[in-house]
Amino acid sequence: GYFYSRWRKCIWSSHDLSDIVFIDNYIFNKDVFIQFNSTVGEFVGYTELGVYNARAWNNNPGQLQSESAQVETVCKRNADIDQQTITDKS
């Protein structure tokens, strides 16, 4: 059989969340074939299929804008909650 998954994460290291990065990986059989990184600002393909999809997705301004917005809508909101929880416990 085949295994497909999507792995999304937010990475930050400072309290002011100015360096937060959103990464969205598309994985097929345990290999990332396409990735969006908010620092890069576009999709990057790592396989033939990934390069083909990245080219198509990068030509769709709505999709790029939606992925980039995840930094604000998902990452910063949840990181703020996590940061407060950690600070309250110490």
The H or E element that residue 45 is part of is strand 42-45
pLDDT of 82 higher than 90: no
pLDDT value of position 84: 73
- 46: containing domain: 4-88
pLDDT of 41 higher than 80: yes
pLDDT value of position 17: 79
Contact between 28 and 1 (Cβ < 8 Å) = no
pLDDT value of position 90: 58
> How many domains does the chain fold into?
1
Q: Across the strands, what pairs with 21?
A: 11
Neighbouring C-beta atoms of residue 6, cutoff 10 Å: 9
Report the SS3 class of residue 18: coil
